[in-house]
Structure 1
Amino acid sequence: MRYKKFIMYQLENGWIQSVKQVPSPNYDLRPENIEISLLVIHGISLPPGIFDNEFVEEFFTNQLDHTKDPYFEQLINLKVSSHLYIKRSGEIIQFVSLDHRAWHAGLSEYNGRSNCNDFSIGIELEGTENIKYTNQQYMSLIELSKCCIHNYSKLTIDQIVGHSKISPGRKTDPGVLFDWQYFLNNLALKL
Structure 2
Amino acid sequence: MVLYNEAKYTASPHYDARPDSTDVSLLVIHNISLPPSQFGTPGIRQLFTGTLNPDEHPFYKEIAGLRVSAHCVIYRTGEVEQFVPFDQRAWHAGLSSFQGRSRCNDYAIGIELEGTDTLPYTDAQYQALGELTSFITRYYPRITLGRIVGHNDIAPGRKTDPGAAFDWARYRTRMLD
Is 1:173 paired with 2:137? no
| Aligned mate of 1:75, from 43, 53, 63 | 63
Equivalent of residue 95 in structure 1, options 83, 95, 107: 83
For 2:40, the equivalent position in structure 1 comes to 52
Indicate the residue corresponding to 1:144 in structure 2. Answer: 132
CA contact (8 A) 2:28 2:151 kept: yes
For residue 33 of structure 1, report the CA deviation from its aligned partner.
6.3
CA contact 1:24–1:81 (8 Å) conserved in 2: yes
Is contact 2:80–2:128 with CA below 8 Å preserved after alignment?
Answer: yes
Question: What do you get for the CA RMSD once the two structures are aligned?
Answer: 0.9
Query: Does 2:96 match 1:108?
Result: yes
How many Å separate the matches in 2 of 1:162 and 1:27?
A: 20
Matched, 1:131 2:119: yes
Which residue does 1:157 correspond to in 2?
Answer: 145
Deviation at 1:30, TM superposition (A): 0.3
Structure 1 segments of 4+ aligned residues over 6 angstroms from their partners: none
Match of 2:25 among 34, 37, 42: 37
Counterpart Cα distance in 2 of 1:31 and 1:23: 20
Q: Please tell me whether the aligned partners of residues 109 and 167 of structure 1 are also in contact (alpha carbons under 8 angstroms).
A: yes
Give distance in 2, aligned partners of 1:51 and 1:154: 33
Match of 1:16 in 2: 4
- TM-score normalised by the chain length of structure 2: 0.98
SS in 2 for 1:16: coil
* DSSP-derived class of the 2:152 partner: helix
Count matched residues: 177
Equivalent-residue separation in structure 1 for 2:124 and 2:20 (angstroms): 36
Does the Cα contact within 8 Å between 1:90 and 1:137 map onto a contact in 2?
yes
Whether 2:170 is the aligned partner of 1:182: answer yes
If the length of structure 1 is used for normalisation, what is the TM-score? 0.91
**Alpha-carbon distance between aligned partners in 1 of 2:168 and 2:114, rounded to the nearest angstrom:** 16
